[in-house]
Structure 1
Amino acid sequence: MKYISLALFLLAIISCQQEADPDNKMETIKYIERASGEIKTENVPSEGMLKWLYTSTTGKAALSLLFKRKIVSAVGGWYMNTGFSSRRIDEFVSEHQIDKKEFEIEDLSKFTSFNDFFYRKLKPNARKIGERLVSPADGKILVFQTLADVNRFFVKGTEFTLAEFLQNEKLASKYNNGAMAIIRLAPPDYHRYHFPASGVASESTKIKGHYYSVSPLALQKSLQIFCENKREHCTLATEDYGNIIIVDVGATMVGSIIQTYEAGANVEKGEEKGYFAFGGSTLVLLFEEGKIMFDTDLVENTKKGMETTISMGENIASMVKK
């Protein structure tokens, strides 16, 4: 109960703290819309709160003391499962211009809670599945042909290592020279995720961790957040792209990571793998060396320091022909 009381107290002072703190210097989030090539600015839910938590002295103290802990996300998840939270749905859809016509259930009044809406299903044909390796989710993507590119991109903070990220040195050693994709799901995005290729999926391995934000406003400070957050990973054995590691990373206010696939079974490209409950989340794909080549536009945009919008089922890479 003391954590809950402290959480309510901290939330009450956030708005005035954000304006008063001179250290609040985080940049806005800009990204490239893939279809048009336009550079846009992201509308970030709770942007002020994130800036306060990750840039100010008092915010960092609150983050370490409370906000990274499970209790805060658990309380938030509990509320998002209540009928009271459903009152936020209409405003949220309107504010973020979410296309209701894609929803399996278009009538927003049918959702029993905000979480019920948050991990909504889409109509069967709402996403076209590409002919090559595809994105497992809607969101914004960064791609790296080697792990060295990752550490050059995220120049701040402690060096990112796969062994620490996967908590398995033997498994990590198979991917140290391989490629990596980071797909970030913002709260307005569709939050079910799917398989990027056909194959056989292993059982998920769970790794305990904290609940830091995975927003770029937080990652600007350190990619090490990925190695500290709660996460799960499985290996997808494919014929064309080798063994792909799929890592589901939780974050602040993500109450649960739910797997809906059957471990050990054959899965089809585009088939649902699972979903995240409320909050921002991330998927990380790891590829063995020499197995895939990312699409040129995604590589170039990443080199510019820009994420690119992506839809589940959209092509992101090709197999390397031997």
Structure 2
Amino acid sequence: MNKKSILLISSLIIILLAVVLMNRMKQNPDEITIGILQFASFPALDEARIGFMEQTKKELGNNIKFIEQNAQGSVVQAQAIASSFKANQNIKAFYAIATPSVMALKAEIKDRPIIFAAVTDPVGLNLNSPETNITGATDMADIAEQIEILRSLLPNINKIAILYNPAESNSTIQVKKMKEELFKYNIKALDVGANSQADVAAAVQNATQNAQAVLVPTDNTISSAFPIVRQIADKAKIPLITTGTNEKDPPLMQFGVDYTQSGIQAANLLRSILLEGKKPAELEFISPSSKIYINSLELKKYNVILPENIKNSVTLL
């Protein structure tokens, strides 16, 4: 075989490979790409993502493609991801998990729908304007009920530390309501702030040394470092009451929404937008039902007897 033949065959092979590659890169016209921006990794947010993805596949079939990005608890990283999502015109809709994620996407995306979950106060964040491209499922728990059950469970408590990140708007909203409800029962609330995961250990030490129990709102910083919180609280023999951490090794009491269900409801909103032609502004925010879990092993550890008046309101683990 002469050189010209070899060059011709080589050229044909290169052209053929290029055609195959281009065909692979060409997007299926029926494919629906969804960009997912999850702020951090911990059970509640993971459940919101899994519930959404599974339900979306059921609703929209096998032509769904997900682009998953995790900001690892960094607001700056969330903003960078949102910017990259904006540049990708193949993405038809976005799923934001947690308040920093939806705020990052809100700042960048104006022309495509954004559906959220695990956002505590969407109204306070002005996500419900008449021309909004955003809707979703909130995770605001019934704080009054939470404190009422806390009081029944620990009737002798008179001072509780509230552990949270003061920079998270979703947390400060809950803390304000928690204080109002605790005041009704003459329980003193001690503010203990942790501005980053690096601050959590010292904050928990402060909380356990100066209060009879530790209360945690729905807070991304604290939830991301929850194993540390649990370890220090256990060592100090101080009970933990959390809002929506969904931990596999639960504290004395967990109170919050069902995050898997929240993700499913967010997927149903997406279906209404993509298949029924609804606009996000036409779809009201969804508030998933709350659940209350009591750890029976923790009851024994702290010599707490489950009161009769709350037995029907909680689930024993």
Is the helix fraction higher in 1 or 2? 2
Measured against the shorter chain, the TM-score band is: under 0.3
TM-score by length of 2: 0.24
Q: Which one scores higher on RCO, CA 8 angstroms, separation ≥ 6?
A: 1
TM-score by length of 1: 0.24
